[in-house]
Structure formats: structure tokens, C-alpha cells
């Protein structure tokens, strides 16, 4: 299997580990010892999460944008990748309110024609044995698919084929269903700069 192809396939699983670590950190930090709980007042209660707002998230190479409504926060922190993140990760955003993580992975220049690439991707996904796998029909530059991984996380992804780069754009969550994840990815664009 081609390394770039394997990277696209593994990107979603690798990003899950990184985002689970990122998502666990705020929860652990907000744990209040039992002794302190009794003395806490309603004034100490955390405020309601901010209202979801329209956002346009753009990859670090300015090649891919995702327009969403939410409270997505950058998880890449500039150039520092979270532990377990794929080296080609060019966008990683997490919305704590919806428990949805968005990632974009740049797998480099394609080495096969789009039709062959997408046929191989579909075969690899089927052979991976993911639960609830649904692979959409491939167009000349795009293929959508969704699945549930071994840990029960739902993934909805779009693989974008351009002459110079392959991109995997994924939304995943341990609690949001695939329909919600698909809705999150309804407005993904490959920007002209990347073409």
C-alpha cells in the first residue's frame, strides 16, 4: 500500500487519539475535589457555553476551508502537533460543546489517477473492517465516506483529489452521529490557491 494512501486512511484514527487527549485535559482540569464541592456556590458555577457562531476554518496552508457553525478552537497551536497527530495535519479544530473534531490532512501529491486512487481507497476502507461503513460514489475529485471505529467514534470524511495534493477532511466524535458530522462537512472548499 502506498505510504501517502496509508496516511490518508490512518489520519482519522491518529487524529482521534490526539483529540481525545485534548478533550480529556479540560475535563480533568475542571474536576473539583469533593471537599470543595460542598463549599461551592452558584456564583462559582461555570457560565453557559458561548452561543454557536458561523466560522470559516482554513487549513494552515490556505488550501482548504470549512464553513461551520460552532465554537471550534485550534488544537494545533501553531506548528506544534498534538501527540498522535499525523505529520501532514494542516487543520485540527475541536468544539467542546458538540464534541466534534475537524481535521484536514495533506497527503502530498497523488501518484495515481483519481479513478484508481478512489477505487483503492474504497477497497482499503472495506478491508479495514470499520463498522457502519458507507462510501459514496467518487467523482473526479472527491469521495465521501463514513464509519464507526473500534472505539465507537463516528467519522465522516471527504477525500479531495487535486493535481498537486490529496486532502482528507474529517469530522469525528465519540457522541455525535454520522448525520451530524456530515452536516458539519457540508461546506468544504478547495481554495484556488491549492489548485
Contact indicator for 112, 163 with CB cutoff of 8 Å: no
Strand partners of residue 143: 159
Contact indicator for 170, 179 with CB cutoff of 8 Å: no
The model's pLDDT over 149-192, given as tens digits with 9 standing for 90+, comes to 999 999 999 999 999 999 999 999 999 999 999 999 999 999 86
Q: Judge whether residue 144 has pLDDT over 50.
A: yes
Q: By percentage, how much of the chain surpasses pLDDT 90?
A: 60
Give residue 109's pLDDT: 93
Q: Under CATH, which number does the domain 3-27+54-194 receive?
A: 3.40.1000.10
Per-domain residue ranges for the chain? 3-27+54-194
- Residues in CB range of 124: below 8 A, 6 or more apart: 1, 5, 9
Contact indicator for 26, 96 with CB cutoff of 8 Å: yes
Amino acid at each position: 500500500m502506498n505510504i501517502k494512501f496509508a496516511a490518508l486512511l490512518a489520519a482519522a484514527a491518529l487524529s482521534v487519539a490526539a483529540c481525545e487527549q485534548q478533550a480529556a485535559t479540560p475535563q480533568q482540569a475542571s474536576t473539583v475535589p469533593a471537599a470543595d464541592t460542598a463549599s461551592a456556590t452558584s456564583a462559582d458555577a461555570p457560565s453557559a457555553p458561548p452561543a454557536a457562531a458561523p466560522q470559516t476554518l482554513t487549513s494552515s496552508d490556505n488550501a482548504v476551508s470549512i464553513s461551520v457553525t460552532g465554537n471550534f478552537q485550534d488544537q494545533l497551536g501553531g506548528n506544534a502537533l498534538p501527540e498522535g497527530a499525523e505529520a501532514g495535519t494542516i487543520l485540527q479544530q475541536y468544539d467542546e460543546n458538540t464534541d466534534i473534531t475537524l481535521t484536514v490532512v495533506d497527503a502530498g501529491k497523488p501518484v495515481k489517477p483519481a479513478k484508481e486512487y478512489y477505487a483503492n481507497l474504497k477497497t482499503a476502507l472495506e478491508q479495514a473492517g470499520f463498522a457502519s461503513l458507507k462510501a459514496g460514489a467518487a467523482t473526479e475529485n472527491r469521495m465521501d465516506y463514513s464509519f464507526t471505529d473500534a472505539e465507537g467514534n463516528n467519522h465522516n470524511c471527504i477525500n479531495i483529489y487535486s493535481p498537486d495534493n490529496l486532502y482528507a477532511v474529517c469530522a469525528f466524535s465519540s457522541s455525535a452521529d454520522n448525520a451530524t458530522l456530515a452536516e458539519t462537512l457540508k461546506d468544504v472548499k478547495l481554495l484556488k490557491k491549492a489548485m
